[in-house]
Structure formats: C-alpha cells, structure tokens
C-alpha cells in the first residue's frame, strides 16, 4: 500500500492532518496535471497554479470520503479540472458574445484564447455525448486527457482490467473523431 493510500485511509478514519498531507504530497503531480489539462484545451489565462487551487477547493469538499488511492484521487482531480476549465471557457465565450458588454481590441493572443475556449467547449460537448453512449469511455478520457494518468493508473483508478481500459481508450478516441467538429 502506497503512502498516499495510507494517508487517505487515515483521513477516512478521521485524522484531519492526513488529508492535508495527502494533498501536499500530490501537489507537484496536480501541477503537472494542470499543465497537461491546459495543453488539451485549457484557457491560457487560467494558469496551472490557479487551476490547482480551484481543483483543491472542489476536491476538498469531498475530503477522503470515497477516495480509495492515489490513482482514484487523481481521477477525481482530473474530472474537477475538466469542469473548472469548461466553466472558465463558458465564461470567456459569454463575455466574447457581449456578456460583459465591454468592447476591446482583439489581438492574436486574445483570438487564440477564444479559439481554445470554443475548442474546449466542443470537446466537453463531445464528452457529454460520449458519456451518454458509454460512461466508461468518458471516464477513461477524463483520466487520460485531463488527469494525465497512464493506462495502468487509469485501470487502477476506475477499477477496470488494463485490457478493458486500452480497448475503451481506443474506442473513445475513434468515437471522439466522429463527434468533434473539424
């Protein structure tokens, strides 16, 4: 049993400091996940540290309840990061369409950020559709893309055989090619 799993077990047992120790131990990994999540369509103005902080606030509400091990924690964190990025992208798109009623000069950086927001919202819509067809595929994509987990870590987090995760990952990529606009 790994150190994180032991800390999570102690936190579920009521030890307050164990949860904070688990988070502190995973902080660098959360930053790596945030960088990776942003690379897959995150808004460039939301930096990795801000994303990790927002993620922490969401995940901290759960505490250790129901989180079994390091991989499961990272899967939950990856899902939270996806939701944060999607909400941030929706806010950007709303502002672009007059939600903030300010007129600004568009430069290349701003246009790039708006395109990223649109792309992320398209990916989220495709993942929602994918989840309605096969929830396991969508969870695998969340773990791999937003959580940055390997196939083995995804299998552990979702408590699935490695071969199933490999098949679901392959099938999900094919299905997303169809669902995502060009």
Residue 39 has pLDDT above 70, yes or no: no
For the chain, give the number of residues: 182
Picking from 140, 102, 94, the residue whose alpha carbon sits closest to that of residue 118 is 94
Residue 65 has pLDDT above 80, yes or no: no
In angstroms, the CA 131 to CA 62 distance is 23
Cβ atoms of 142 and 78 closer than 8 Å: yes
In angstroms, the CA 160 to CA 140 distance is 10
Which helix H or strand E contains 180, and what residues bound it? Answer: none
Residue 115 has pLDDT above 60, yes or no: yes
Cβ atoms of 22 and 5 closer than 8 Å: no
Instruction: Specify the range with the lowest mean pLDDT, choosing from 40-49, 104-113, 133-142, 147-156.
Output: 104-113
In 13-63, alpha helices (H): 16-39, 48-62
In 40-150, alpha helices (H): 48-62, 70-94, 108-133, 135-141
**Which pLDDT belongs to residue 1?**
62
DSSP structure class, residue 66: T
Q: Tens digit of pLDDT for each residue in 150-169?
A: 999 999 989 999 999 999 99
Domain boundaries, the chain: 3-179
């Amino acid at each position: 049993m790994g150190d994180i799993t032991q800390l999570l077990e102690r936190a579920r047992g009521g030890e307050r400091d164990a949860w904070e120790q688990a988070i502190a131990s995973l902080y660098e990994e959360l930053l790596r996940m945030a960088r990776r999540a942003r690379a897959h369509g995150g808004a460039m103005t939301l930096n990795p540290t801000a994303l990790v902080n927002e993620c922490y606030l969401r995940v901290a509400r759960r505490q250790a309840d129901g989180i079994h091990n390091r991989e499961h924690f990272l899967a939950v964190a990856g899902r939270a990061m996806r939701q944060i990025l999607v909400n941030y992208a929706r806010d950007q798109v709303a502002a672009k369409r007059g939600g903030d009623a300010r007129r600004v000069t568009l430069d290349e950086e701003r246009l790039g950020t708006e395109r990223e927001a649109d792309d992320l919202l398209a990916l989220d819509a495709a993942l929602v559709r994918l989840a309605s067809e096969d929830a396991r595929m969508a969870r695998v994509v969340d773990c791999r893309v937003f959580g940055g987990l390997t196939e083995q870590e995804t299998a552990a987090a979702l408590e699935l055989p490695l071969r199933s995760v490999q098949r679901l990952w392959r099938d999900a990529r094919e299905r997303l090619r169809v669902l995502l606009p060009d």
